[in-house]
Structure 1
């Protein structure tokens, strides 16, 4: 059964040496039902044409989701085509550990005018009982 949760997150992006592609270390703190820390690397390119850019990233998220402890990996792929954004953030298949083993899903993010970052995570857990009668003691 698919579930959905949302909340805010804080992010610090630290530039790493090099010119192309631009590389940054990601350090995140997720708040809410996803209570976790994220760490990863992002590569990006900004075109000389205003509003066009791209980024890719891998991020390991470690903490709890709906009270289940473990970690999982997110793959990010973002594109701006003259101001029109496209974004895909997915849970890497079979990357879940601990009580998050079997996690699948996708994440959306939005940045408010005031700079606050929000996430929306749609997910399902492969090993979660689908119905209360299926739960084993």
Structure 2
């Protein structure tokens, strides 16, 4: 049986944004670890914990990388998986992408792979899309 491509979308709330002490802060550039906890609604119902490394310059927050473990139900399948984040604020505006870490799926989400994006609305609300497939 081949792989079938599926889509998921929804919203999430940031329940906790715990910024730690910067580990590098000089010449106007600050590198800071942040722990983020979220609640997802929509095609993905569940919670997550993310560990991010943020970069702030005199222009403001400009980039982050991180990993996030998501636990819940994705289009009716229960399990967990890990997302790898990459985001920056570029000339065309901000972009935020997710890639599912291969082999990180558990439960009914074992074998999941794919990628997605985060959108931040003018009111600060967060929504997501995820294109994925399962073995």
**What's the TM-score once normalised by structure 1's chain length?**
0.83
Larger radius of gyration: 1
Instruction: Say which structure is richer in strand.
Output: 2
Query: What 5-or-longer segments of structure 2 have no aligned partner?
Result: 25-30
**What's the TM-score once normalised by structure 2's chain length?**
0.85
Structural RMSD (CA)? 1.6
Q: Tell me, what secondary structure is at the counterpart of 1:27?
A: strand
How much does 1:80 deviate?
2.0
CA distance in 1, matches of 2:95, 2:12: 20
Runs (4+) off by over 4 Å: none
How many residue pairs match? The answer is 125
CA distance in 2, matches of 1:18, 1:89: 24
CA distance in 2, matches of 1:82, 1:92: 28
Query: What 5-or-longer segments of structure 1 have no aligned partner?
Result: 127-137
The answer to whether the Cα contact below 8 Å between 1:51 and 1:80 also exists between their aligned partners in 2 is no
